[in-house]
Amino acid sequence: MKRLSIVALALMSACAPNEQPQTSAIPRPAPEEATPTGIAYLCEGRKEVAIVYAKNRASVTMGDRTWRLEYQGAGQGFRYADATTEWSGRDNAGTLKALSGGAPLAANCQPLRRTT
């Protein structure tokens, strides 16, 4: 009986749901990549930002606003900007913010899915 309980417990623990969600990395393309690559990001507050990267540019859309940003280069991370707005970050996380300051328009944005 004791063996049966141990076997049953082992089987139940193997069937338990994994606590950490399984996500696959969606890498940003190299800035000079000519083929457009679209990625949807999910940010804090359930905000969604859609970005199409191509030829040292990023077309960033949030809600009904779209910004056309140029690649600026950034040591360890990435940065796309125009005169008023920037999309920047490191690894997979990004932040959309106005260069005039204040709270970010969208923060801690993580890749959700490819759009192109």
**pLDDT by 10s per residue, the chain, length 116:** 555 444 444 444 444 444 334 445 899 999 999 999 999 999 999 999 999 999 999 999 999 999 999 999 878 899 999 999 999 999 889 999 999 999 999 999 999 999 98
Q: Which CATH superfamily is domain 28-114 in?
A: C-type lysozyme inhibitor (2.40.128.200)
Virtual CA dihedral for 103, 104, 105, 108, nearest 10 degrees?
Answer: -140
pTM of the model: 0.77
Burial 28-56 (b: 16+ CB within 10 A, else e): beebeeeeebebbbbbeeebebbbbbbeb
Domains of the chain: which residue ranges? Answer: 28-114
